């Protein structure tokens, strides 16, 4: 599993994640078990270098033999005109006129329609996979973030989070620790109310919402300085990593180096924390 945090304030949007990837295997009875956990997966990428556009993932770390980070780089080549899009389409982004919503649509088309759907079609075991595409449209006054989620039931169109000047945060993967902290109750509270108090799902949902309204703490402040937003997103990832580490059962499915990227209107996409498998002294221009 993973932890992937997207957090928007007035100054921009933050993408933060851990580096864990769980290798699962199917048992003889059809159930899944954890075979290994790796801690060096790349989950965040700048979609078009030079533009304020980023993408982040959680869930499945690969589609067939291709890692999601490799597919992000393939998508980047399509958006920069180095290779055609699906069906030979010209997906090169016009630096003077582009929209984050269109980039999100192209990410969905490539990752889901071209890759995911073709690999997992007809499979009994279909992994969940999520993406957030975030950044600024040409001359856009506010940051935008679009969520894309795919699984056994398909993949709806990208959903915009926090339209216009709205701000907030989203946690993909394993949100329990952050949800408990911010909202005061576990995500499973509705199920507990149904099972233990024999409430209808509707009534349980209403009570759970009241609990969240009364117990929530406003950690995400819309006018907070961008550095504080970066720190808060990193804290959410670190909190989840430590929470999962000390759970009494199961594998440590969140962990490894924390990566953080910030996207602002004028500074664009900037890495704040990033791991590298290669020495920057030996490779000043990057890997290759």
Tell me if residue 15 falls in helix, strand or coil.
Answer: strand
Q: Is 88 exposed, middle or buried (0-12, 13-18, 19+ CB in 10 A)?
A: exposed
Q: How many domains does the chain have?
A: 1
Report the pLDDT value the prediction gives residue 88, as an integer from 0 to 100. Answer: 95
The label of the residue with tokens 């864990």 reads: 20
Report the pLDDT value the prediction gives residue 37, as an integer from 0 to 100. Answer: 84
d(CA 57, CA 257): 15
Domain-located, residue 163 = yes
Domain-located, residue 131 = yes
Single pTM value for the model = 0.92
Report the pLDDT value the prediction gives residue 27, as an integer from 0 to 100. Answer: 59
Domain-located, residue 231 = yes
Which residues form the domain of 35? 3-175+221-273
Domain-located, residue 195 = no
Tell me if residue 205 falls in helix, strand or coil.
Answer: helix
* Element counts in the chain: helices (H) and strands (E): 7, 14
Report the pLDDT value the prediction gives residue 272, as an integer from 0 to 100. Answer: 97
Domain-located, residue 190 = no
Q: Which residues of the chain have pLDDT under 70?
A: 1, 24-35, 286-288
Say if strands 129-135 and 66-67 run parallel, antiparallel, or are unpaired.
unpaired
CATH number, domain of 40, equals: 3.60.20.10
H/E segment holding residue 116: none
Report the pLDDT value the prediction gives residue 133, as an integer from 0 to 100. Answer: 98
* 258 touches 235 (CB < 8 A): no
Report the pLDDT value the prediction gives residue 208, as an integer from 0 to 100. Answer: 95
Report the pLDDT value the prediction gives residue 138, as an integer from 0 to 100. Answer: 96
């Amino acid at each position: 599993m993973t932890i992937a945090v997207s957090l928007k304030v007035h100054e921009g949007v933050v993408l933060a994640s851990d580096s864990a990837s769980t290798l699962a295997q199917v048992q003889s009875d059809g159930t899944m078990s954890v075979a290994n956990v790796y801690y060096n997966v790349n989950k965040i990428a700048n979609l078009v270098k030079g533009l304020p556009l980023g993408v982040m993932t959680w869930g499945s770390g690969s589609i067939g033999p291709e890692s999601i980070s490799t597919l992000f780089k393939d998508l980047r080549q399509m958006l920069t005109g180095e290779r055609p899009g699906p069906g030979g389409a010209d997906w090169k982004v016009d630096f003077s006129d582009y929209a984050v919503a269109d980039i999100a649509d192209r990410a969905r088309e490539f990752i889901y329609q071209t890759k995911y759907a073709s690999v997992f079609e007809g499979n009994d075991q279909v992994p969940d996979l999520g993406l957030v595409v975030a950044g600024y449209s040409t001359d856009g006054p506010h940051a935008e973030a679009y969520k894309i989620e795919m699984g056994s039931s398909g993949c709806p169109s990208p959903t915009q989070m926090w339209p216009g000047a709205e701000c907030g945060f989203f946690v993909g993967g394993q949100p329990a620790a952050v949800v408990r902290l911010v909202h005061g109750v576990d995500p499973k509270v509705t199920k507990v109310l149904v099972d233990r108090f024999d409430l209808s799902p509707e009534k349980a949902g209403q009570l759970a919402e009241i609990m969240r309204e009364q117990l929530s703490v406003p950690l995400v402040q819309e006018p907070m300085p961008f550095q504080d937003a970066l720190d808060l997103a990193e804290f959410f990832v670190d909190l989840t990593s430590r929470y999962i580490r000390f759970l009494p059962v199961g594998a440590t499915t969140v962990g490894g180096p924390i990566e953080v990227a910030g996207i602002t209107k004028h500074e664009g996409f900037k890495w704040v924390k990033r791991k590298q498998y290669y020495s920057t002294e030996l490779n000043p221009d990057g890997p290759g």
